[in-house]
Amino acid sequence: MTKEAAQKNYTAKNINVLKGLEAVRKRPAMYIGDVSSRGLHHLINEVVDNSIDEALAGYNDFIGITLNKDGSVTVEDKGRGIPVDMHPEEKKSALEVVMTVLHAGGKFDKNSYKVSGGLHGVGVSVVNALSEWLKVKVYRGGKTYFQEYKCGISQSDVKEIGKVDKNKTGTVVTFMPDKTIFRVTKFKFDIVCERMRELAYLNKDITIKVTDVIEKEEETFHFKGGLNEFVQYLDETRQALHKPIYIQGERENTPVEIAFEYNDGYNENIHSYVNNINTSEGGTHLVGFKTALTRTLNNYAYKNKLLKENGLVLTGDDFREGLTGVISVKVMDPQFEGQTKTKLGNSEVKGVVETIVGEKLSEFLEENPAFGKKIIEKCLRAAEARAAARKARDLIRRKNALDSMDLPGKLADCSINDPQHCEIYIVEGDSAGGSAKQGRDRRFQAILPLRGKILNVEKAKLNKILENNEIKTIIAALGAGIGEDFNIENTRYGKIIIMTDADVDGSHIRTLLLTFFYRYLKELITSGKVYIAQPPLYKIKKGKEEIYAYDEKEREEVLKRMRGKGKKEEDTTLVTSEEDMIEENPEIMDKKILISRFKGLGEMNPEQLWNTTMNPETRTILQVNLESAAAADKVFETLMGDVVEPRREFIEKHAKYANLDI
């Protein structure tokens, strides 16, 4: 077709209008992030957000979440119940409008909700659109109302189906995720609990109960202490230096609530929220807190002669070493920006937080001089370590991001210079490193083999960390610097892929590396640059056919297919070595299936490693992301901290999800 003909044929009929919730079903990732586990669990959060809005408005004190036997989820609350009367513009029940129209709901009406949670305001209608079916019950005015939907389409008008006590109000939503949309449809109790625990800490008047009917697990979250308890929970395996300092106030219709404490560790763990949304990229509320903390503590130290006029100068980093805190603000019209739209941009909030923290913290320090002295002493020790760290950092600072003179000798770099098209594999051991170097595409894949385990950064100061050879090698190879020198723009690779063995040692090395990235190069994670390679666990061979399986479930599926339709297990023989495959009687060669278990990457030859783990066309790599920074902080501290009992409990609880070769 010529250009002119194409122009003539491009008319109004070529413009597709996606009606109702069709757009959500066509492009689900635009509304919930993705269609894997993360997006699946986001469905629950969207429904719960409505119940939290009722709590913020003062009408709800309970949320119940049930993971049902059939794979569906029920979310119930004791709020006012979604209105069921006729909507003046849509000419149908307000309940149906809320459930079927994008951007519909009380949160867009300032008279209904002063503030509301939910990042995009798309709400429960998106859940409805992405569900095979959804049923909603409303208790309101002494009556029970009901409506059912399939793929977001109502199956009938809203019906009155019974009467209840006039004091009973609330909404019950049950939905079944659509298997044709989601790659994963099984909800995980632990993932649901992470977010619900967080919400219960942030809203101390609410009780949230999570029940898993299949696994017979149940958790109830209610924290009268609110943010104080949240901070203590985050610091559960650390030694706190004092009780949490609690600050509360309101200016310009912006309520501010903050709790923080210092511990004997070296990491800064500040988690910030706006209307219950985890602002993992920070924003103006976090800047206001940091500014006020630094200024107030500095003034207090000089005023009380805890610092000498011409002595060591304390910086913001010194005041935040070993600080665990939670900041929660409620903003009427929050403006979000940043890489993942989780950074607060409202400029007025900085001044509000700064003023409240400055006033309240000054009062606290005057009334508690012993606390003040202890905090300043810790900050001074941090400043001394920072000076030592600067000397260590100077030794590994790169003159130029692409200057090969500064690159570590064991790095096999790629030939392309554009970071966007380059990736680096951080590989466990020289053996696997050798296979990876031979098997890679040297145009865009760099290989950095590590010898042994890196330092556990959870238990060390920065100056000690920078003395570790393996860490120095990683910093030099990545090129982005560390600490005060860190600049993500200088990162030499678009993808940083951790590739370790599928055994206990490999898991430990991977956790050590992730701990280092999380604590000192977190922006690499939040910008989506860090990945985990997924090497196969098994090679399954029958005759000339070879297939790789990445877990036990996939192995069983391959075995079932190789045995053939209708064949039983006894019709085939499983062997574990090539020698056992060779038989004098060729008639039974086809009945033998070889299963090889890879214990290490070094067992694979270069071609196998490329085909299974490094070829972008066929590999599986998992992107590391932070759904909840608070939950991530808790996991790293539990796994890598000093206290043994919580670590043992964590491993015992999660052992069923791990591949352990003990």
Looking at residue 312, which CATH number applies to its domain?
Answer: 3.30.230.10
**HSE toward the beta carbon, residue 272, CA cutoff 13 A:** 23
CB 432 within 8 A of CB 602: yes
Pairing status of strand 495-499 against strand 538-542: unpaired
Burial class of residue 490, CB neighbours in 10 A (0-12, 13-18, 19+): middle
Output the CA torsion sign for 249, 278, 646, 523. Answer: negative
Tokens, residue 64: 């119940």
* Residue 57 to residue 41: CA distance in whole angstroms: 25
Which residues is 133 bridged to in the sheet?
Answer: 176
Same domain membership, residue 469 and residue 587: no
Q: What is the CATH number of the domain that holds 29?
A: 3.30.565.10
Of 336 and 360, the structure prediction assigns the larger pLDDT to 360
| Four-point Cα dihedral 377, 380, 385, 387, nearest 10 | -170
Q: Which residues are catalytic?
A: 428, 501, 503, 505
The answer to whether residue 299 is domain-embedded is yes
CB 461 within 8 A of CB 266: yes
Placement of tokens 């665990």 in the chain? 324
Percentage of residues of the chain with pLDDT beyond 90: 46
* SS3 label, residue 378: helix
The answer to whether residue 344 is domain-embedded is yes
- Over range 579-594, report the average pLDDT: 55
Same domain membership, residue 512 and residue 449: yes
Same domain membership, residue 434 and residue 337: no
Residue 465 has pLDDT above 90, yes or no: no
- Over range 622-648, report the average pLDDT: 69
Of the residues 393, 422, 454, the one at which a domain ends:
393
Same domain membership, residue 403 and residue 388: no
Residue 432 has pLDDT above 70, yes or no: yes
* SS3 label, residue 203: coil
Question: In what side-by-side order are the strands of the sheet with 538-542?
Answer: 545-549, 538-542, 592-597, 573-575
**HSE toward the beta carbon, residue 309, CA cutoff 13 A:** 0
Give the per-residue pLDDT at 464. Answer: 85
Same domain membership, residue 181 and residue 33: yes
Of the residues 338, 361, 393, the one at which a domain ends:
393
Contacting residues for 413 by C-beta, under 8 A, at least 6 apart: 404, 407, 446
Residue 28 has pLDDT above 90, yes or no: no
Q: Read off the pLDDT of residues 618-633 as tens digits, 9 standing for 90 and up.
A: 888 888 877 666 666 7
Residue 533: φ, ψ to 5°: -70, 150
The answer to whether residue 662 is domain-embedded is no
Same domain membership, residue 252 and residue 347: yes
Same domain membership, residue 549 and residue 507: no
Give the per-residue pLDDT at 567. Answer: 54
* Residue 537 to residue 204: CA distance in whole angstroms: 45
Residue 291 has pLDDT above 90, yes or no: yes
The answer to whether residue 614 is domain-embedded is no
Host H or E run for residue 299? helix 284-303
* SS3 label, residue 155: coil
Of 120 and 644, the structure prediction assigns the larger pLDDT to 644
The answer to whether residue 473 is domain-embedded is yes
Residue 12's pLDDT band (cuts 50, 70, 90): very low
* Residue 414 to residue 441: CA distance in whole angstroms: 8
The answer to whether residue 29 is domain-embedded is yes
Q: Specify the pTM.
A: 0.73
CB 209 within 8 A of CB 74: no
Q: What is the CATH number of the domain that holds 458?
A: 3.40.50.670
* SS3 label, residue 274: strand
Give the per-residue pLDDT at 661. Answer: 32
Residue 141's pLDDT band (cuts 50, 70, 90): very high
Same domain membership, residue 65 and residue 155: yes
- Total residue length of the chain: 662
Residue 418 has pLDDT above 60, yes or no: yes
Of the residues 198, 221, 244, the one at which a domain ends:
221
Mean pLDDT of the chain, nearest integer: 83
Of 38 and 655, the structure prediction assigns the larger pLDDT to 38
The answer to whether residue 642 is domain-embedded is yes
Same domain membership, residue 235 and residue 359: yes
Same domain membership, residue 208 and residue 120: yes
For residue 503, what are the domain limits?
398-535+621-657
Instruction: Domain count for the chain, please give it.
Output: 4
Of 596 and 186, the structure prediction assigns the larger pLDDT to 186
Tokens, residue 550: 């990445």
Same domain membership, residue 92 and residue 75: yes
Same domain membership, residue 262 and residue 190: no
Placement of tokens 């992301």 in the chain? 625
Q: Read off the pLDDT of residues 332-356 as tens digits, 9 standing for 90 and up.
A: 889 988 766 788 999 999 999 999 9
The answer to whether residue 370 is domain-embedded is yes
Least confident of 69-83, 139-153, 411-425, 600-614: 600-614
